[in-house]
Structure 1
Amino acid sequence: MIQIVISSPEAVDRELQRIVALFEAGMELFHLRKSNASELELTQLLKEVPEDFREKIALHQHHRLAARFGIKRLHFPEKLRMATPVSQLESLKTQGHILSTSIHKRERFLQLSSCFSYALYGPVFPSISKPGYQPSTETPLQKLPESGCKKVAIGGIEENKIPLLREWGFDGYALLGAIWQENSKDGLKHFLQCRKTHEMIG
């Protein structure tokens, strides 16, 4: 399964050290999502990330920083995806970029451009990072529709939920609240426990 960690939307204590620790522990994909951060603030953070890890980062905002930092992964939140011509997405893919997006309705999977490698879908379970943000009742009732785009669950992901995600047709999951709302030791522990569980189920 694909395992993704999404950054805290706001600055957190020892953030850079915690990001590097996750990379050193085997984090394969890190989505840098800070919608309120300026381009300068994002630049300052990226400068501090060791170069060897930058290829594993997906940018949600300020995509033009990708070339400067050797980043090939670009994420398109739903509003940005809807506003971006397919021809532009195709051009980015041709240039070697790996594109991802966010989806909140099941039927949208079938409407996605083939340019996207995977989509974040959720919340699948009650959100940890956004109290009160509840899943749609449709999520656990049926498998997600088949499409060429891989499906990555987001929202309330914990170790014991991972087998259910496989049953519901997900190809992976993204961790957010459980990583950043706990202290750094517990966040890293949660990351490792989830990875061990999905490796066990294949």
Structure 2
Amino acid sequence: MIVITNPSFIEDEIEILHSLFEEGLSLLHIRKPDFSELEMAHFIHPIKMEFRSKLVLHSHHDLAKDFGINRIHFSEKERKNQRHLFSKFSDSVKDKSEFISTSTHSIDDFNSLENDFDYAFLSPVFKSISKENYHPKTDLFEALKSRTNYKTKIIALGGINSENIQKTLENGFHNIALLGAVWNNTNPVKEFKLCQQIALLHLQ
């Protein structure tokens, strides 16, 4: 199960994150697009060392080594327009000392990925919970039938919640990423646990 941080400030966020990890959260994508490098460092610092290997940085990638983080995420824009950023990490990825993920927004974009990526988000699968007026332009379940990239794992993002997790996993996605379902809920940890239980039942 993957959770992406809310892009803006959340009260008691670090405490909530620790609770999510303790409940079995496997990966946390830290996406804070408006954070400066110093703000990002201050955000990461209180996260317990035992959870650092589960963190994925979306920005200020140079902080990764300082905090013992070996997972880097590239946005679609970075991947396409700033190839030199990705190239810095490609050699280490080959021996699995670091892991790289990225974002895609169409099956054609996903199919065109190079094999260096461990997994990629494909979004939006459903109408977004966290973004207003952000909804799928095509049926991504149908689009998955034309998938040709079988090395990169494909992760569903966008509008994922407890009501559609099972359908999503039954239609070809390897895993799901939660954002709005968790952070727009009055009890983020409880909602995460519910989603996790549904996903685990599918795997049994």
Give the TM bin, normalised by the shorter chain.
over 0.9
Match of 2:200 in 1: 199
- C-alpha separation in 2, matches of 1:141 and 1:90: 32
Letter paired with 1:114: N
Match of 2:49 in 1: 51
2:39 is the alignment partner of 1:41: yes
Alignment check: 8 A CA contact 1:142 1:168 kept:
no
Matches within 5 A, 1:100-139: 100-139=101-140
Give the deviation of 1:45 after TM superposition: 1.1
- C-alpha separation in 1, matches of 2:53 and 2:198: 25
- C-alpha separation in 2, matches of 1:98 and 1:104: 21
2:163 counterpart (138, 160, 163) = 160
Give the deviation of 1:146 after TM superposition: 3.7
Q: Structure 2: 5+ residue runs without aligned partners? A: none
Question: Residues 112 and 89 of structure 1: is their aligned pair in 2 closer, same or farther, counting only changes over 3 Å?
Answer: farther
Letter paired with 1:7: T
- C-alpha separation in 1, matches of 2:53 and 2:196: 20
- C-alpha separation in 2, matches of 1:195 and 1:51: 23
Identity %, equivalent residues:
37
Give the deviation of 1:198 after TM superposition: 1.2
- C-alpha separation in 2, matches of 1:47 and 1:162: 32
Structure ranking higher on relative contact order (CA contacts 8 Å, 6+ apart)? 1
2:175 counterpart (172, 177, 187) = 172
1:150 counterpart (144, 148, 153) = 153
- C-alpha separation in 2, matches of 1:199 and 1:126: 24
Alignment check: 8 A CA contact 1:124 1:136 kept:
no
Q: Does the residue aligned with 1:30 lie in a helix, a strand or coil?
A: strand
Q: Does the residue aligned with 2:109 lie in a helix, a strand or coil?
A: helix
Structure 1, residues 158-180: CA drift from partner, whole Å, max 9, x if none? 11211221232100000001111
2:15 is the alignment partner of 1:26: no
The number of aligned residues is 198
Question: Residues 130 and 190 of structure 1: is their aligned pair in 2 closer, same or farther, counting only changes over 3 Å?
Answer: same
2:63 counterpart (54, 65, 68) = 65
Letter paired with 2:83: T
Letter paired with 1:38: S
Letter paired with 1:69: F
When the two chains are superposed, the root-mean-square deviation of aligned CA atoms in Å is 1.5
- Runs of 4 or more, structure 1, over 3 Å off, are 85-89
Give the deviation of 1:141 after TM superposition: 2.7
Q: Does the residue aligned with 1:44 lie in a helix, a strand or coil?
A: helix
Give the deviation of 1:90 after TM superposition: 2.0
Q: Which moved more, 1:105-114 or 1:66-75?
A: 105-114
